[in-house]
Every structure is written in structure tokens, then in C-alpha cells.
Amino acid sequence: MKLVRFRYQNAVRLGVLRDEATVAPLSEVYRGSMAAFLSEGTPALQHARETLERESVPLSEVQLLAPIADPPKILCVGQNYRDHCEEQNQPIPERPILFSKYATAINDPEGTIPLLPGISDQIDYEAELAVVIGKQGRHIPETAAMEYVAGYLCANDVTARDIQYGDKQWVRGKTPDGFFPIGPYLVTTDEIPDPHALDISLTLNGNVMQRSNTSNLIFRIPYLISYFSRTITLQPGDILSTGTPGGVGVFRKPPIFLKAGDVVEVTIQGLGTLRNFVHNPPQA
């Protein structure tokens, strides 16, 4: 299933994408919270499947929003593709590099990525496969890790490189408001039999900047879930973004950074295309 969060008639709802043209709304009991929906587990997913047989609304009449606006945590992995390590002249990491983003960084499909005039002039793109956790767990063994996955999203780990490198740690440069577009929908695991065999790409104004396959991940999803759950309780609605392949702007010659008017699109096989627009924020 493709689960969505959307605005319709001045209300935010959850729903299921029935086809390319219609959305079947879920019960209002979830109050537009994907995390609350996922926390109910199998009964919620069964309700979603039954919803497909009910009345729907035209997709053209709704505004798709970030599928999850209230994740308990956003966990991100750095340097998790070999070609991304190579373009930085960095060795393959011996263990996953973890950093976090905050919920205020979440951005919608078709949303605006804000530039930071006077603060940063090196804002970069990063196409990523994001994993959404479906049930709570701690000390999860690798062999059982995929049982904790609800589904997958396209993500763009937008980064202010000058802040990232100037601070000598990653959080402030990674998590300005609007710097984590996700969507356009949450695809449940039954539609993605192997998340480690998906083509992933990013275009900037129609030009391909990143192109790879999730088979090139250094640390795969079961290992990441097991590794992080040794010290962090994973919860329904948590987002785990698995890293970006080579081709980011900062390591191009010359470097390429986002500018006003740019259109950025992340496409992952089976997960759709996440499109965002780059603009200067309105002046206060």
C-alpha cells in the first residue's frame, strides 16, 4: 500500500493511494498522525486495506503532505555508500556514523526548500532511502530486524555544508527548518520485497546528479536497525535515513550548490518521485 497524509477541505487526514488519481481517506480517529496509525500495528494496516473498498476523493483535490510529521526520532546515517566515501577520499567506515535531524526539518512533497541568506551559501542535496519503523523495539537481532519496518520513503537530506564543516559536527548544518523533504508517500513493505535492490537517483533542474542502487549500501537495513537499537529504543513512526550515494554538490568540480529557482527531484524505484523547489524565504 501507499499510505499518504494530505490536506482536504481544510483538514489534515491520512489515506491510502487507491490509484494514480484517487485517495481513500482513513478514519479521522488518527487525527492526521502517521505515528499514531503505525503504533496500532496490524489492525491499522487491515483498516487501511479495507478502506480501499470505500469512497475516495480525487487526488487532484488534495494537497499531499509529508507522510509523517510527528516522528519520535529522525536517525540518519553518514557515508553509507562506497562511491560517496570515495568522492570524499574517506575510508570505508568501520561502524555506522549516526546523526539526527529534528521534526522541524520535515518538508512536504512539492514544498519549498528554504535558502539561508546571510547564514549559509553552500546548501547541498542528498538523495536517500528512508526506512520507517512500525513497532517498538530494543536490542533487536538482525535476523528479526525487518519485522520492525513499516515501509519506505524517498528523502532528501538537505545540508548546509559550510555550517556542517565549520561546526566540525553535523547536526546544525543538517537540520535547519525544511531541510528534510520526505514522500510523496509511505510504501508498505509488502510492495518492496527487497529494499536493497532499488535504483535511486536525484536530478537538479532535470540534470542527473546522483544515480546508484541501494545494493551499494555499506551497512544494510537489518544491521542498522540492530546496531542502533542496542542503545536507542526504536518507536513506531521513527525515520531511519540510510545515507546518500556519490554525486553530491560539494564534491563536484566546481562545486554545485542549491540556488533560488532550482527544482530538485529524488526518485527511488517503487517509491515514486519527491519533488521540491528552492527559494529564498520571505523577508521578515
Q: How far is CA 108 from CA 19, 117, 277, in A?
A: 20, 21, 11
DSSP state of 115: P
Share the mean pLDDT of the chain.
Answer: 95
Digit-by-digit pLDDT tens for the chain (284 residues) are 999 999 999 899 999 998 888 999 998 888 889 999 999 999 998 989 888 878 899 999 999 999 999 999 999 999 999 888 888 788 888 999 999 999 999 999 999 999 999 999 999 999 999 999 999 999 999 999 999 999 999 999 999 999 999 998 899 999 999 999 999 999 999 999 999 999 999 999 999 999 999 999 999 999 999 999 999 999 999 999 999 999 999 999 999 999 999 999 999 999 999 999 999 887 65
* pTM across the whole model: 0.95
The x, y and z cell numbers of residue 179, run together, are: 531541510
Q: What is the pLDDT of residues 171-223, one digit of tens each?
A: 999 999 999 999 999 999 999 999 999 999 999 999 999 999 999 999 999 99
The pLDDT of residue 54: 80
Give one DSSP letter per residue of 71-91, joined into a string: -S-EEEEES-BHHHHHHTT-P
Domains of the chain: 2-65 (no CATH), 74-279 (3.90.850.10)
Cβ–Cβ < 8 Å for 56, 24: yes
234: cell is 526504536
